[in-house]
A and B are shown apart, each in its own frame.
Chain A
């Protein structure tokens, strides 16, 4: 019966392609939305993850970088540096502003870096240098390409002109890019010479970062210290919490579409095979055997649909970043598990639809030529 079901499924290739394609696209809706959100989560925390800092120290109560502001007196850097187990402290300045490159205006995190920074530098430098130094700026390579500018060209940041001295990679996300200038320029343009935004702390080789973070909070007033992993997790949580409701709504619609497509596929397949099922019944096959045949077809369709949906999504993940510089997809095992579960529900629900047809099928129908 299983062999019969598979042969039935593959006999009409056009219908198979349409139905598998439909299921694949419905699953792709869920997979790609999940993939986009996951990509944003990774990118939003990319700077923190690649910062090489073991601990991030911020203004008391500030636990995020994205959509947040932190101000610390520059004296705090000295105090943190005196905490036992701290190897180096890199103070950085940060705010969100516009990078004007040619005709393009891009919202960017502007990072003010001190010379010879031990942490927080651009982690992929595809051209030029990573250390901006006074008068220089390191901007995202994708932004530079989109604006048609390169090394030696001028860009506007914080209302001032800078020479592009480096191009960085991995520094763009859906909402913004990251640009680096020197702390000196940053402080001058913001007229805030005694203030820094975050302290990037590296600990001694044998020192556990979580313990040192607690020591910093105990010994330095008005700061919140988190390990890099904690800080990064908080950053991802912002994206996750913001997108949860939206993703749930979209996934629900995707799920319903998948259900309708799969139901339609199995129902039409059964309908068109009515005569064959009648023959089987006339030859003594029980309803149970026919249900099995329908179930196997439904299952095989969703398995193929799942594989095709995954393949399409992976293809999309490869193509999208080449077309849209601030968008990408990251397919995860968790998402795959989610769509696999949805597929099983599609198959089992769809297999229930033609039950009434099979049950009411008259074996004599085949002899009447209907």
Chain B
């Protein structure tokens, strides 16, 4: 181990570059991971904070985000009449594209009834909409575009006045906007339309039993909020897991090559010393161990630095771009160490051939 460490850190610039390369690769893997976890949290934030424990959607629709739901007329009254239902908040939701400062900004528009719920859960400035031409706007999006309470925003050719700014309603993909339900009905030319019902179950009642009762109604599906959240997360994973996995695989290979290059060069440079060790009776297995220890050391130091870099970079990203949520979970560090060790293990294969072919007598020929 001592030989391995000395061999590795003897040339400090080379060691620093290799540790830096591994650290950047690990940082990329962690940021991608943290970004994905952050997206899952952001995508379910509306249901995390909204009223009730059940969601009623059009039959066949199992997501809040991603699919358009339109409930049959009269569904609200039917659900309210189901035994064990304490309250119902109807919402009409739709993705819209805002044109802000020549930028396309997708937003998830929620039409709700302030007296029933389903609206913003944190008003950081101003108030909720009282009339149809008033809107609650996401605070982060407002800050990015220098918009404030009292300003007007055009949505599909209609102008709305911002009367409140909401917190916790942003994500990289989309921000939440809130209008009165009647305003969204008018905007979408869909009078009386409802997308989802948020159902509050009476105290002492089992949400699962009420869900099954509501699902017997014609043309609707009732789900636990947790089921819809899981479906939304799964949907998002379907979109993004393939590109993220691709990027992670490339970053891993880069890490392997960086460590491999350093270990290989260090081994070739020290051929004579390894030859001496062989001449003194050391077996190939011992030399492999020395090389493996070097690779593991470089990979682990790089991984440690990568974890620190990832934390710093994620904080910097979120400060500069608050719409991004990069979540660093403690188990990610464990995964990073496993990945780092994997890099070291594979990298140690590069100089294996050099060691295997090394003749002990070589040292005496030079």
**Chain A residues packing against B (C-beta within 8 Å):** 12, 14-15, 18-19, 21-22, 25-26, 28-29, 32-33, 36, 59-64, 66-69, 71, 73, 95-98, 100, 105, 107, 156, 158-159, 174-175, 190-192, 195, 224, 234, 237-238, 240-242, 245-246, 249-250, 253-254, 256-257, 260-261, 263-265, 267-268, 271-272, 316, 320, 324, 326-327, 353
Contact = CB atoms under 8 A, between A and B. Distances in A.
A268 B269 CA distance: 10
Given A28-B250, A268-B265, A175 B239 contact: yes
A28 to B, nearest CB: 6
Contacts of B104: 64, 234, 237-238, 240-242
Given A36-B243, A174-B239, A234-B104, A71 B190 contact: yes
B173 to A, nearest CB: 7
Interface string B55-80: 00011111100111010110000000
B250 A260 contact: no
Contact of A268 (B14, B172, B243, B246): B14
Given A15-B264, A271-B11, A95 B68 contact: yes
Interface stretch (B119-127, B155-163, B207-215, B278-286): B155-163
B257 interface: yes
Contact of B258 (A59, A67, A264): A264
A257 B28 contact: yes
B188 A71 contact: yes
16 contacts: A14-B353, A36-B243, A71-B188, A73-B189, A192-B190, A224-B157, A237-B104, A238-B106, A241-B105, A242-B106, A242-B172, A245-B172, A256-B24, A260-B21, A263-B17, A267-B17
Contact of A105 (B62, B260, B268): B62
Contacts of A105: 62
Contact of A97 (B21, B68, B99, B238): B68
B327 to A, nearest CB: 15
Contacts of A61: 154-158
Top-8 shortest CB links A-B = A61-B157, A61-B156, A71-B189, A67-B95, A159-B60, A159-B59, A260-B21, A60-B157
B37 interface: no
Nearest to B261: A18
Question: Interface centre among B24, B63, B323, by most A CB within 10 Å?
Answer: B24
A32 B258 CA distance: 20
A167 to B, nearest CB: 21
A12 B271 CA distance: 14
Question: Interface centre among B60, B72, B269, by most A CB within 10 Å?
Answer: B60
Question: Interface centre among B97, B156, B253, by most A CB within 10 Å?
Answer: B97
Contacts of A353: 13
Contacts of B105: 241
Question: Interface centre among A100, A242, A250, A261, by most B CB within 10 Å?
Answer: A261
Interface of B: 11, 13-14, 17-18, 20-21, 24-25, 27-28, 31, 35, 58-63, 66-68, 70, 72-73, 94-97, 99, 103-106, 154-158, 172-174, 188-190, 219, 235, 238-239, 242-243, 246-247, 250-251, 253-254, 257-258, 260-262, 264-265, 268-269, 317, 321, 323-324, 350, 353
A98 B97 CA distance: 21
Given A22-B258, A25-B257, A268-B262, A96 B189 contact: no
Contacts of A62: 156
A129 B95 CA distance: 32
Question: Interface centre among A14, A61, A69, A190, by most B CB within 10 Å?
Answer: A69
Given A61-B154, A224-B157, A15 B97 contact: no
A98 B61 contact: yes
Nearest to A106: B238
A68 B95 contact: yes
Contacts of B258: 22, 260-261, 264
Contacts of B251: 29, 257
Contacts of A254: 28
A63 B155 CA distance: 11
B67 A107 contact: yes
B94 A69 contact: yes
A316 B96 CA distance: 34
Nearest to B234: A105
A267 B247 contact: no
Contacts of B264: 14-15, 18
Nearest to B221: A159
A256 B106 CA distance: 31
A264 B324 contact: no
A28 B252 CA distance: 13
A273 to B, nearest CB: 11
Contacts of B155: 61
B250 A32 contact: yes
B265 A96 contact: no
A100 B231 CA distance: 14
A61 to B, nearest CB: 3
A264 B97 contact: no
A261 B21 contact: yes
Question: Interface centre among B18, B157, B235, B321, by most A CB within 10 Å?
Answer: B157
A162 to B, nearest CB: 12
Contact of B265 (A15, A29, A250): A15
A33 B28 CA distance: 13
Contacts of B158: 61
Given A107-B63, A158-B60, 17 more contacts: A12-B268, A14-B353, A22-B258, A60-B157, A61-B155, A64-B97, A66-B97, A67-B95, A67-B96, A96-B68, A191-B70, A195-B189, A260-B17, A268-B265, A316-B246, A326-B238, A326-B239
A21 B265 contact: no
A18 B239 CA distance: 33
B217 to A, nearest CB: 13
A60 to B, nearest CB: 4
